[in-house]
Amino acid sequence: MLSLEESLKILKETNALLEGHFILSSGLHSPQYVQCAQLLSKPDKAHKICVALSEKINQEFKEIDLILSPAMGGVIIGYEIGKLLKKDTIFSERVNGEFKLRRDFTIKKNQKVLIVEDVITTGKSSLECSKIVDKLGGIIIGYACIIDRSNQQTLIKQKIISQVKLNIPTYKEEDLPKDLSSIKAIKPGSRNL
């Protein structure tokens, strides 16, 4: 199994974990930024992380019928985990601001569903997926992600299986530590276009 140190090394090598001064989509400032799309753009390195995560999932969950991921960030990781676990995989997409199943995807009554995404911070996307599962009569067995950076501040009440847990501090602009305020802030990410 891939160690935490090996996983962090891969995340840094692929620029999925950056250090500096970042303004997050929430408006908070942080000395680290997570961009899993960078990891997933390197299939050989992403595969190592996904294998390790799938081993953890196998240890924790004995029965999985289906994997559901939120688009966009969760699609690739969900697919990879589904391939490794030999499970069908579907994804939800935003339609008028709300996650929905499209493309004739469905969840059967009592189907055991694992929700998988790249990064869990607040858990909002995962919980939106949970609502779909509940509405269609499926059973949510749990949550999994490459990086859990929720610092236990997530809205998710069930256990989260992750390859890496990161405790990344965030600050309001008026509360920046000196070392962070001396670095020029950048605004990365898909929501900052």
Which tens digit of pLDDT belongs to each residue from 93-136?
888 888 988 999 999 999 999 999 998 887 888 888 999 999 99
How many CA atoms does the CB half-sphere of 51 hold within 13 Å? 11
Average pLDDT taken over every residue of the chain: 90
The residues near 10 (Cβ < 8 Å, ≥ 6 apart) are 2, 16, 39, 45, 48, 49
Residue 89 has pLDDT above 90, yes or no: yes
Given a contact cutoff of 8 angstroms between Cβ atoms, the answer to whether 124 and 150 are in contact is no
pLDDT band (50, 70, 90) for residue 190: low
What tokens appear for 138 in the block?
């499926």
| Cα–Cα dist 143/158, whole Å | 7
Q: Where are the domains of the chain?
A: 4-181
pLDDT band (50, 70, 90) for residue 192: very low
| Cα–Cα dist 84/77, whole Å | 11
Q: Of 65 and 190, which is predicted with more confidence?
A: 65
The CATH number given to 4-181 is 3.40.50.2020
List the Cα angle 171/176/177 in 5-degree steps.
Answer: 115
What tokens appear for 46 in the block?
């992403």
pLDDT number for residue 193: 45
pTM: 0.85
